[in-house]
Every structure is written in C-alpha cells, then in structure tokens.
Amino acid sequence: MTRARQSWRPRAGLDALQARAGLLARIRSFFAESGVLEVETPLLSQTTTSDPHLQSLSTSFRGPGFADGLPLYLQTSPEYAMKRLLAAGTGAIFQLCKAFRDGENGPLHNPEFTILEWYQPGDHHRLMDTMERFLEATLGAQSCDRKTYLEVFEARLGLDPHTASTAELEQAAARAGMRHPPRVRCPDDWLALLMSHFVEPSLGTRRPLLLYDYPASQAALSRVRPGSVPVAERFEVYYRGVELANGFYELADATEQRRRFETELEERSRAGLEQPPLDERLLAALEAGLPDCSGVALGVDRLLMLEIGAESIADVLTFPLSSA
C-alpha cells in the first residue's frame, strides 16, 4: 500500500472540526456585535514582507500580459493590504484567512495556517482591552495578566533586556543552562533565543498574559515611544506557554516605514536571503494617511489547540503538511 493511500484520512477528528466551526462562529459573532467590518484581501501579491525572520512562499503567474511570468508571493499575513483599506476609510476591520510561511513546521507551526487580523481606532492599550474581551468571548478566559517585557526578563533571567550587552545575554543563557547555543548575530537574536527557551514556557500558565513594551529594536511595524529607554508600542499574547497573538500601535509615518523596510532588506542581503520588492502601494497608502489605529494578528489554529487541549497543531488541521 502506498504512503498516499495510507494517509488519505483527515488528521483532525470530527470533534476538532466541530470545535473549529464553533470557534469561527464565535469570532465572527464577536466582531459583528462590535460593529467591525469583515473584509477580504488577496492571498497572492506582487510584494511580501521584508522581515528577515519571515520567509515567503512564491509562485509565478503566466497569462495574458505576463508571458514571461509575474512573480507572486503567498502572504505571511494580510497586514499590508488591510492597511491600504484603512487608509481608504473603511474604519475598524477584521479578516479571517489563510497565511503562509516557508520553513515553519512543528508542534506549533504549519506552513499554511489560519490567521485572524483586526484593526481598530486608538493605541495598543485600548486594543489589549479588546483582546481581553475577545479571549473571554471565544475561549472563556475570565481575565488577563499584563506585564512588561522588562518584568518577565528580570523575573526569569535577572537582566534588563533593554540595556544588556551581547556578553551579558550570552552569560544569562549559560546560567540558565544553555550549553551549546546556535550562532547569533546581535542582541536581538540573543533576546529571541532567551525568550523562546527560558521565558515563553512560563508565560500565561494560569491565565492569558498580555506582554508589552518591547525593545525599540523589535518595533517591526509599530510606533516607538521615546524616553530614557525607548520602547516599541506593541504587545504579544501568551497562554499556557503558547504565543497566540502579536499587536502593534501602528506606525503611520511613511518615511520611517521605508527606512525600516530598507534596513530589513540590508539584513536579508547580509544573510543571503531573497530580496522581495518594497510594497510601494503600502507606502503610498501611509503617505495618503493611515488613521490613528492599532492592529493585531492571532493564530486561530493555536487558539483552537488551547480550547480542545491539543498538543500539536496537526491535531486541529484536516490535512497538515505531512498529508496535504
């Protein structure tokens, strides 16, 4: 019997399929009751993220007007297109769709996954309030803890992540028991390593944790709040050691966004990664005027894992990578 014939059955059982249908219904009900418009944007685009930590899957369209082929990217999130809608005046919006990321496969990752992304007026603290209500409505979580990035690093590793040197971060890893760390290039790489190995597993053990005030160097597409120690105005959601969501007080400065994109492309070049074209349409939308807003992306499959107690993302997918 061939492997294909052996693996024709879905991985997720009927209970998981029913739970997913119920979760999606609750998500849509939450936003309908809040007056948030559901939208759709393309999964295929001529541009993609320049983030050196995210790799896109690509293809090529051949058809009328593009005999030589038009390079296209499957989107890692619908963020760029949704911001173009926001600049056009849609008001608060949300989207449930598939997203795609190359090189990601494991207990919490599948290269194709379901994402929820939404945007609303106001800053990321107001969005965290909405996130609390969302988790109560969809997962039954009664309340959330809130801590800063500094607080969790001080509590777990006894260091200040905003000021620690590369040597201090390496020493912290050794004290925590890391004997043979992979090659890392900069403090942010060390922070990501320490976060994933020693901090994340202890986050949100009793109830969801909203973690905010990230290092300014990790701002991505968020604003940076100035001060003696500038911080990125963003947050992440953790529950039972699982990263559920990533939210930003959205950067609206087109010039600064272009500078960040160009810096990321330089990092990709040094790492030998593909150089995707800049999303000039997004930058034009920012120049036209992005409303004061915050946005968040949430992994729906991970949310479902928490709801039914699944240990692997494959257990909540009909056909994960191994049987797709």
Residue 234 · residue 297 · CB < 8 Å: no
Statement: residue 270 has pLDDT above 70:
yes
Which pLDDT score is estimated for 7?
77
How does pLDDT run across 176-208, given as a tens digit for each residue? Answer: 888 777 777 788 989 999 999 999 999 999 999
Q: Model pTM?
A: 0.94
Give the residue-averaged pLDDT of 245-261: 98
How does pLDDT run across 230-252, given as a tens digit for each residue? Answer: 999 999 999 998 999 999 999 99
Which pLDDT score is estimated for 127?
98
Which pLDDT score is estimated for 4?
56
Which pLDDT score is estimated for 32?
98
Give the residue-averaged pLDDT of 267-285: 95
Give the residue-averaged pLDDT of 54-63: 96
Residue 173 · residue 194 · CB < 8 Å: yes
Please state, for a pLDDT cut of 70, what percent of the chain lies above it.
98
Helix axes 14-33, 300-308, angle to 10 degrees: 120
Which pLDDT score is estimated for 176?
87
Confidence class for position 3, pLDDT limits 50, 70, 90: low
How does pLDDT run across 12-49, given as a tens digit for each residue? Answer: 999 999 999 999 999 999 999 999 999 999 999 999 99
Statement: residue 169 has pLDDT above 70:
yes
Statement: residue 132 has pLDDT above 80:
yes
Q: Of 80-84, 132-136, 164-168, give the lowest mean pLDDT range.
A: 164-168
Give the residue-averaged pLDDT of 312-317: 98
CA angle 154, 159, 160 (to 5 degrees): 90
Q: Of 147-156, 183-192, 271-280, give the lowest mean pLDDT range.
A: 183-192
Give the residue-averaged pLDDT of 299-315: 97
Which pLDDT score is estimated for 102?
97
Which pLDDT score is estimated for 11?
95
Statement: residue 2 has pLDDT above 60:
no
Which pLDDT score is estimated for 178?
85
